[in-house]
Structure 1
Amino acid sequence: MGFFKDFFERGKFVRSLNSTFLVLVPKKGGSKDLRDYRPISLVGGLYKILAKVLANRLKKVVSKVVSSAQNAFVEGRQILDAALIANEAIDSMLKGDEAGVLCKLDLEKAYDHINWDFLMLVMQKMGFGEKWAGWIRWCISIASFSVLINGSPGGFFQSTRGLRQGDPISPYLFVLGMEALSYLINKAVRGGFLSGCRLRGRGGNGTQVSHLLFANDTLVFCKDSQDQMAILSWLLMWFEAISGLNINLEKSEILPVGSVENAEDGVEERMRKRLALWKRQFISKGGRITLIRSTLASMPIYLMSLMRIPRVVRLRLEKIQRDFLWGGGALEKRPHLVKWDVVRSHKMKGGLGIRNFSFLNRALLCKWSWRFAAERDSFWKLVISSKYGEEEGGWISCEVREGYGVGLWKEIRKEGVLLFKNASFTVGDGRRVKFWKDIWCGNIPLCEVFPSLFAFAVSQDAWVEDCWDYIGDVGGWYPCFSRSFNDWELEAVASLLSILQGKRLNVGMEDRVVWNASKNGSFSVKSLYNTLDSGGAVPFPWRIIWSPCVPTKVGFFCLGSFLGEGPNPRSSQKEGLVSSKQMLLML
């Protein structure tokens, strides 16, 4: 604690604490040029704790000082936000017959080249105090480096620019520096020098999308005119001059806006390339299961998070996993001991716990609907809302009636129905929850619990706030009906008031959506996946078969005998002659 107190007061610490070993990690096989290596910094433990403290404080304010176009290392924003916005923008351009180009820019050795004076100036313009800027300047400027060559360190040397990959504060500082490029592009758009892309909504209004940034990757939307290309090149030259960063022309592209066919084929190609590196004939069944779960099943995650993969593609990806698991392939066919539908189920159901791509795809798409309902000021939500509109309450967007095009939201919106089948609402001020039609009081809507009362309600679409009377210190429930109650309806009225008893509005709180399948009320892909995969349970001695004491190959043998086209033990159990445990003894 004395170290932290001294740094807080003096803004300095011993230079030796910031000594750093550099490890050069090759980016690809057969690396020969120095640019083919990624320098990773191994910083000292005490400094890393200090840098982590500064990073935790810095990330709390980053979202307030950077533009909505930045999606990397900003709290509340995710890597896929930019992909969704870009697809919706291109979809609007194609449907509006607007000619344009998409400039994909990559920065060369971005962390290593950024200028410190430029970074300090940006922080000053953003309103960071001198003390904060002094802390950051000291942390990044006194670092000394020693390159590990064959595991042995060389001599130490100082740097004059750049940020260290491996330093906890580096990502946030880089985001602050990239805000200068975002500012230049925004100023050019406001001045009419760059057009960007306007996503026009149903009401005629729209949202302007001119560029998107994720760390050192940048997308810029503009018209396919020589003037705008010249303006953009001048902007990039100015940014290079003041920041020290350079555009990597080899990796940068200018793409004409158009539809892309078979985008999902890249996943299958990456799977096959990865399999080519594995010598599966030397990998045990347990090792294959581990590789499928950790690698093959994870490769399509980003794709499935944005679009519904076609059935034929899903079957091809599953076939790759099947062939790898059972040892077959294109040249050698071997029998599969267990049906694939069983293999994809949970271990307690007799499966191997491999993910079902169909269920996982639906759960990942449904996450967007949850974020739409739970988030308020996200830029991606603003884009979707302005393009498609919102339903009453703002929990979900309006249904997409246009053709598919290259937009992604139409399929995502369809899965929103699945979300609200397993969600309810916690009432705050009652302005966004419908009294009769939403699930907020019990497990089903009040209109289904009391259909006779709902039939003669004054407003069947009334909000919860409309049925609350603020008269007096406490207030009370006063749902309005179009006529007086009959004698046989009084019991239903009493039941309604009994359900409402103890519930009240909280004026200072907003209404929020609650996911019923989790204990804390927050949505998770895992919980929805388990909900979709909840059926088909069979009695299966999984704790015995997959016990840590049982070798994996024995477990596979037992699994095949229990669930496969097995010989005598399986048929004996089917006939009821032996129990599960007796069957294991027979094996």
Structure 2
Amino acid sequence: MCNGMNALSSTLPSSYRPISLLNVDIKIITKALSHRLEKIIPSIIHPDQTGFIKGRNSSNNTRRLFNIMHHSTTHNHNSIIATLDAEKAFDRVNWSFLIHTLHSFGFGESFINWIKTLYTSPTATVITNGQTSQSFTLHRGTRQGCPLSPSFFTIFIEPLAAAIRQNPLITGIQTPNMHHKISLYADDILLFMDNPKSSLQEVISVIKSFSLLSDYSINWNKSSILPLNTNSLAVAALTTPIPFCTSHITYLGIHISPRLSELINLNFTPLLKKINDDLQRWMNLPLSILGRIATVKMTILPKISYLCSMIPTHPPLTWFHSLDSSINKFYWKNKPPRVKLATLQKSKSLGGLNAPNFHHYSLANQLQYIYKWTHPTQSDSTWLDIEQTVSKDIHLSDLPFLSQTIKKHPCFQNPTISSALTAWWKFYSITNSTLAPSLFTPIWHNLDFISNKQSLYFSTWVEKGITHLKHIFNNNTLVPFSLLVQKFGIRSHQFLQYLQVSSSIQSSMKNKNINLDLPPLPSKLINIPSSKKILSKLYKLLSQADSTPSIPS
């Protein structure tokens, strides 16, 4: 094992994080077992867990969190959230408990015997400052650097999550269709609680019981509780080992405040200051322009992209202007730029150097949720359910195809929804596309299609499968009633309803050249075939908006 130090004092043994240097034969077998394991992990682990599971990521946790916070504050619930700090989580995994958990999940004897072989009397030595210690026997923990460790910890912690979910004495935050109690990313645990007076004590009791069986331990002093509204401040008087915070807490590296309007100042403002300090320190390094662009891509872009993916609030344009100014000074060593930044940000085929466009990366991070609305998956269900509830009668997949009259709908008050839609409208603007009715535009509950001062809705039409303009238009022309009768089985006595639908839609499209095809680039976004590397694909779409070659001058 080779010691790596974290940010704490170098004089404390607890500051060191060993990374196991494994021999080749162990790496081969653990990698093979890991590949088998990752295929079934998504089917046995609850969507509450997102760490090290294919198809899930940490942004699911924060998007769920912000949706729950908005729901709790708007409904004035007596709610709190709590972050739990696990004490050396991976190093405290009890092997007997892990094996028993594997049996409980139904893993076969052959697979478990391989695991027992790997964890039977393993030995290690420690290398510190080039000095190698005598070998010693390991008795617990999953080795950091082992391909199996992430999946094993996910399985190891799932019984705790299940115990909290299934405990009726722990009251989570209730949304109309789901009861939210816990969210996990590896050893980062986030709890959602209503009625904290009783729920807190029960959570602590469950964790202590789990610790007795598994050797898992929580550092209560480093954990924290955040009340979500003023009513929750009363719980600060409760006797609990977990400290209370009234301003903000930190979860997955993000500073979380009960007031979502403060997210920019808490996260993006300090990041900009740190970036400016780093760029100033690197200013005089002997790097070429290509080296400087590579430095920005490797050190600065990941930090910005991570924040933009985790926080629904889009930074103001002034923030990006300040960032671009600092980056440009770094590219040219504080000298007058020889080439415009916009030119550097273009692809090499268009005369640029592929320098990152941070505004486009931020938009791409928001646009991925437009894609997820239209291509929902089980791994996103924890936050999709809340946003669908907020959208009421309008399906999430229909939101991108409505006009900006959706701002009048209550769902636009939800910051996660409004940020995604605002990014979508910005995408239309950047790509010189017109936001107009399309074949994907919903007919019902659409504020643009009004009859008798109300939006349209005929349940019998919905039951017959008529929901969008594509069902009643052909070649940009409204189909005759007889064709709807023939194709969908609409009754002849519903002709009056047909006239209402026809009149409302044609009135909305009056004096407009009707072309119900989606513009090319928005159509490409909606029809991306796979969510794999979705951020990169969206960024490329944004880059295609300006495909004019640039000749540096």
SS in 2 for 1:42: coil
Q: Supply the RMSD in Å over aligned alpha carbons.
A: 3.6
1:372 aligned partner: 373
Partner residue in 2 for 1:49: 28
Partner secondary structure for residue 20 of structure 2? strand
State the match for 1:210 in structure 2: 181
Residue 24 of structure 1 and its aligned partner are, at CA, apart by 0.7
Residue 273 of structure 1 and its aligned partner are, at CA, apart by 4.8
State the match for 1:269 in structure 2. Answer: 273
Verify the 8 A CA contact 1:424 1:515 in the aligned structure 2.
no
Q: Secondary structure at the match of 2:178?
A: strand
Q: 1:266 corresponds to which letter in structure 2? A: P
| Structure 2 CA distance for partners of 1:256 and 1:246, relative to 1, 3 Å | same
Q: Secondary structure at the match of 1:68?
A: coil
Give 1:318's aligned residue.
324
Q: Which residue of 1 aligns with 2:290?
A: 286
String of CA shifts for 1:498-554, please: whole Å, max 9, x gaps.
xxxxxxxxxxxxxxxx9747998335333332332235445557xxxxxxxxxxxxx
1:2-401 alignment runs, 5 A limit: 22-28=1-7, 31-188=10-167, 191=168, 193-199=169-175, 205-223=176-194, 225-257=196-228, 258-260=258-260, 261=262, 262-263=265-266, 264-275=268-279, 278=282, 280-305=284-309, 306-307=311-312, 308-328=314-334, 334-377=335-378, 378-389=381-392, 391=394, 401=409
> Once the 2 structures are TM-superposed, how far is the Cα of residue 255 of structure 1 from its aligned partner?
1.5
The answer on whether the counterparts of 1:110 and 1:245 sit within 8 Å (CA) in structure 2 is: yes
Deviates more, 1:260-269 or 1:53-62: 260-269
* Equivalent residue number for residue 241 of structure 2: none
* TM-score normalised to structure 1 length: 0.68
Moved more, 382-391 or 111-120: 382-391
Q: 1:244 to 1:370 in 2, by over 3 A?
A: same
Distance 2:482 2:131 in 1: 81
Q: Which letter does structure 1 place at the counterpart of 2:84?
A: L
Residue 531 in structure 1 maps to residue 541 in structure 2? yes
Shift, 1:32, TM fit: 2.2
Q: Who is 1:9 aligned against?
A: none
Name the larger-Rg structure. Answer: 1
- C-alpha separation between the residues in 1 aligned to 2:480 and 2:300? 57
Aligned to 1:499: none
Q: Distance in 2 between matches of 1:446 and 1:349?
A: 43
Deviation string 1:565-584 (CA, Å, 9 cap, x unpaired) is xxxxxxxxxxxxxxxxxxxx
Q: Distance in 1 between matches of 2:474 and 2:291?
A: 52
Q: Return the letter of the residue paired with 2:184.
A: L
Contact 2:388 2:395 (8 Å CA) reproduced: no
Q: 1:218, CA displacement in angstroms? A: 0.4
Q: Structure 1 residues 42 and 458, CA, compared in 2 at 3 Å: closer, same or farther?
A: farther
Shift of 1:127: 2.0
The answer as to whether partners of 2:97 and 2:213 remain within 8 angstroms in 1 is yes
Query: Which deviations, in whole Å up to 9, do the C-alpha atoms of 1:45-89 show, x marking residues without a partner?
Result: 222111111111111221222222111122221121001000100
Query: Aligned with 1:219: secondary structure?
Result: strand
CA 1:409/1:315 → structure 2, altered by over 3 Å: closer, same or farther? same
Query: Which of 458, 470, 475 matches 1:449?
Result: 475
CA separation in 2, counterparts of 1:163 and 1:175? 11
- Counterpart of 1:356, as a letter, is N
The answer to whether the 8 Å contact 2:343/2:550 transfers is: no
Structure-2 separation of matches of 1:279 and 1:327: 6
- Are 2:210 and 2:216, in contact at CA under 8 Å, matched by a contact in 1? yes
Partners of 1:23 and 1:33 in 2: how far apart?
Answer: 16
Match of 1:410 in 2: 418
- 8 Å CA contact 1:112–1:163 kept in 2: the answer is yes
8 Å contact 1:111–1:164 — kept in the other structure? yes
Change in CA separation of 1:270 and 1:248 when aligned onto 2, cut-off 3 Å: farther
Q: Aligned equivalents of 1:370 and 1:128: distance in 2?
A: 35
Matched AA of 1:447:
F
> How has the CA–CA distance of structure 1 residues 86 and 537 changed in structure 2, closer, same or farther, with 3 Å as cutoff?
closer
Contact 2:51–2:58 (CA<8 Å) still a contact in 1? yes
Q: Which amino acid aligns with 1:534?
A: Q
1:386 and 1:373 map into 2 onto residues whose CA distance is 16
Instruction: Describe the SS at the equivalent of 2:140.
Output: coil
User: Could you tell me the percent identity over the aligned residues?
Assistant: 22
Contact 1:369 / 1:415 at 8 angstroms: preserved in 2?
no
User: Match of 2:215, as an amino acid?
Assistant: G
Determine if contact 1:366/1:412 at 8 Å carries over to the other structure. Answer: yes
Question: Given residue 259 of structure 2, which amino acid in structure 1 is its aligned partner?
Answer: S
Shift of 1:124: 2.0
Secondary structure at the aligned position of 1:55 is classed as helix
For residues 428-468 of structure 1, the C-alpha deviation after alignment (integer angstroms, 9 at most, x for no partner) is xxx99979845xxxxxx9936251xx2424577x9x9949x
- Give, in whole Å, the separation in 2 of the partners of 1:279 and 1:415: 33
Q: Alpha-carbon deviation of 1:172? A: 0.7
Determine if contact 1:393/1:432 at 8 Å carries over to the other structure. no
Task: Look up the equivalent residue of 1:319 and give its one-letter code.
Answer: S
Deviation larger for 139-148 or 379-388? 379-388
Deviations 1:349-379 (A, max 9, x none): 3333222222222222111222232234233
Distance 1:540 1:410, change over 3 A: closer
**3-state SS of paired residue (1:297):** helix
Q: Does 1:522 align with 2:530?
A: yes
Distance 1:352 1:66, change over 3 A: same
Q: Match of 2:226, as an amino acid? A: L
For the 8 Å contact 1:259–1:406, the answer to whether it is kept is no
Question: Partners in 2 of 1:457 and 1:362 — Cα distance?
Answer: 42
- In the comparison of the two structures, how many residue pairs are matched? 452
Partner Cα distance (1:370, 1:73) in 2: 22
**Deviations along 1:249-289, whole A, 9 cap, x unmatched?**
34321122221412322321342354365363444433222
Contact 1:87 1:406 in 2 (8 A): no
Kindly report which structure 2 residues correspond to 1:404-443, keeping only aligned pairs within 5 A, or say none: 407-415=415-423, 437-438=469-470
Alignment partners' CA distance in 2, 1:299 and 1:465: 53
Between the aligned partners of 2:464 and 2:52, the Cα distance in structure 1 is 31
In structure 2, C-alpha distance between the alignment counterparts of 1:122 and 1:357, rounded to whole Å: 44
- DSSP 3-state at the match of 1:173: helix
